[in-house]
Amino acid sequence: MHRFTTCGVAGIIAMLPIPLSAQGSPAQTPENAQRFLAINLPTKFGYYSAALRSVDVFLVGPATSGRNVCVTDFQAYTTGQGTASWGIDWATVAQVKHTSGSSVVEVYERKGMIRGIDFNSPSLAARAAFAMEFLRQHCDPSADTGF
């Protein structure tokens, strides 16, 4: 007759190998979301605001988490305006929108500006949208209201 005890089963489970992907997986933090965007933000994307109309933005410098973790800063060139510092302040983003199968992520700011960022890959766009939504939720100034 075999007797199994809780301790015996726990001991067997403890001896099972853990997949490498579960060991030391990077944490989902605002800093890592910023790092992901810095690596994967494309060099050209569209930008729309009532004041600027529609313009193409060409990145000429790397995206960084500059002023704080809630801002993605980058150097960009726009036709007619030259090179300037631009940024996405995640505390002002109302919505991050990605349609399954699309390579474009749309970022809607509360002040009416819209960025359409084409990652040239639906799977990369889905990952980027997740990182962007993570930053938006982390940086939302009304998050502590419970709504």
Indicate whether this model's pTM tops 0.75: no
Q: How many CB atoms within 10 Å of residue 18?
A: 8
13 lies in some domain:
no
Domain membership flag for residue 6:
no
- CB-CB neighbours of 113 under 10 Å: 17
20 inside domain:
no
What CATH number is given to the structural domain containing 87? Answer: 2.30.29
pLDDT at 129: 96
Assigned domain for 38 exists:
yes
Domain of 37 in residue numbering reads as 27-145
Instruction: For residue 114, tell me if it sits in a domain.
Output: yes
Residue 2: inside a domain: no
How many domains does the chain fold into?
1
Q: For residue 50, which of 131, 125, 121, 114 has the smallest C-alpha distance?
A: 114
Give pLDDT tens digits along the chain (147 positions): 555 444 444 444 444 455 444 567 889 999 899 888 888 887 766 665 555 556 666 665 555 555 688 888 777 777 677 777 777 889 999 999 999 998 889 888 888 777 788 888 999 999 999 999 999 999 999 988 988
Confirm whether 11 is domain-assigned. no
Q: Which long-range contacts (CB under 8 A, 24 or more apart) does 26-32 make?
A: 28/134, 30/65, 30/69, 30/70, 30/134, 30/135, 30/138, 30/139, 31/65, 31/69
The answer to the question of residue 19 being in a domain is no
Which pLDDT belongs to residue 55?
A: 61
